[in-house]
Amino acid sequence: MIGLLTSNFSLYHDLVNILRKRNIPFVSLTFDGDIPPNVNVIITTDDEKNKIKFDNVIVCKPDSNVENIIDKAIILSAYKEINLIFGIDPGNNIGVAVYGNDKLIRRFVANSPEKAVDFIRHFMEDVGVKNAIIRIGNGARLIRNRIINLLQDKNLRIEIVDESMIPCIDDDAIAASSIALTVGKEIKGKMSVEPREGEIKELQRISRIKSKNITISKELAKKVLMGEMELDEAIEIQRRKNIHNM
């Protein structure tokens, strides 16, 4: 059971809202009351931690993500240490799943490699873990490789998982869970993010469909595929070029 013990009303309000939204059991505590025997972990602030005589206290700092702190509490309510595995299903919509000590903690969809990587790094920082396993599917080569390059770190073990070894799932977040639970081949070093001809032509086709009549140039397509700009931006640049050349 998670216990909340803080006089910081704003933090308490945020914690309660998220715990109720996620249907996670908790109990509100007071500084002059006894801690019930069914409480396994307590969440408080940095300023108040020394007032609490309890072995398992988690501090929520002002810059911490409250969701991540709750996830940390969930794991530490059952385990003394935290082992993290992240599963990533690369694609236009990037599925991300987090497992703590083999228990599914959270899964969601990120809309860019940068946002997926930012989540992983902030999550690890908030829960106080320096080492983790990253398992990423072998599809969507460029997006996959961009994520791998952004995650290069001596404390991260990165594995590429053969997606043909797991069931075909339409839901990106659920697919990320399957990837997280499948051992892959460890890779080290930077991966190529140089677009291939087929990838460029496919994006040009997509640009025609999205804009209804505009085919972006190969140069613009390369920039989009390498994450240097968004497709909408490339279409607008191409539109202005076409008007200028008329």
- pLDDT digit string (tens) for 150-161? 998 888 999 999
- In this structure, are residues 66 and 11 in contact, taking their beta carbons and an 8 Å threshold? yes
Percentage of the chain exceeding pLDDT 70: 100
The last residue of one of the domains, among 186, 207, 230, is 186
The last residue of one of the domains, among 186, 205, 224, is 186
pLDDT tens profile 76-98? 988 888 999 999 999 989 999 99
What's the domain range around 26?
A: 2-76
From the list 128, 149, 134, the residue with the least C-alpha distance to 227 is: 149
Q: How confident is the model at residue 122 (pLDDT cuts 50, 70, 90)?
A: very high
pLDDT higher than threshold 90 for residue 227: no
pLDDT higher than threshold 80 for residue 59: yes
Within a domain: 192: no
Q: What's the mean pLDDT in 173-192?
A: 94
Q: How confident is the model at residue 23 (pLDDT cuts 50, 70, 90)?
A: very high
Within a domain: 166: yes
Q: How confident is the model at residue 166 (pLDDT cuts 50, 70, 90)?
A: confident
- In this structure, are residues 38 and 25 in contact, taking their beta carbons and an 8 Å threshold? no
Q: What's the mean pLDDT in 117-134?
A: 94
Query: What total of structural domains would you count in the chain?
Result: 3
Q: For residues 177 and 206, state if they share a domain.
A: no
Quote the CA–CA distance of 233 and 19 in Å, as a whole number: 39
From the list 147, 149, 142, 115, the residue with the least C-alpha distance to 224 is: 142
Q: For residues 150 and 216, state if they share a domain.
A: no
pLDDT higher than threshold 80 for residue 172: yes
What pLDDT score was predicted for residue 160? 97
Quote the CA–CA distance of 12 and 63 in Å, as a whole number: 15
Going 21 to 55 to 102 to 96, the CA torsion angle's sign is: positive
Within a domain: 191: no
pLDDT higher than threshold 90 for residue 104: yes
pLDDT higher than threshold 90 for residue 173: yes
What pLDDT score was predicted for residue 186? 95
Within a domain: 116: yes
Q: For residues 64 and 151, state if they share a domain.
A: no
Q: For residues 107 and 123, state if they share a domain.
A: yes
Quote the CA–CA distance of 227 and 240 in Å, as a whole number: 21
Q: For residues 150 and 234, state if they share a domain.
A: no
Task: Kindly report the average pLDDT of the chain as a whole number.
Answer: 93
pLDDT higher than threshold 90 for residue 244: no
Q: How confident is the model at residue 30 (pLDDT cuts 50, 70, 90)?
A: very high
What pLDDT score was predicted for residue 35? 93
Q: How confident is the model at residue 187 (pLDDT cuts 50, 70, 90)?
A: very high
Here the CATH number for the domain that contains residue 149 is: 3.30.420.140
Q: What's the mean pLDDT in 170-195?
A: 93
Please give the structure tokens belonging to residue 124: 């690890």
Quote the CA–CA distance of 52 and 39 in Å, as a whole number: 13
The last residue of one of the domains, among 23, 42, 76, is 76
What pLDDT score was predicted for residue 170? 85
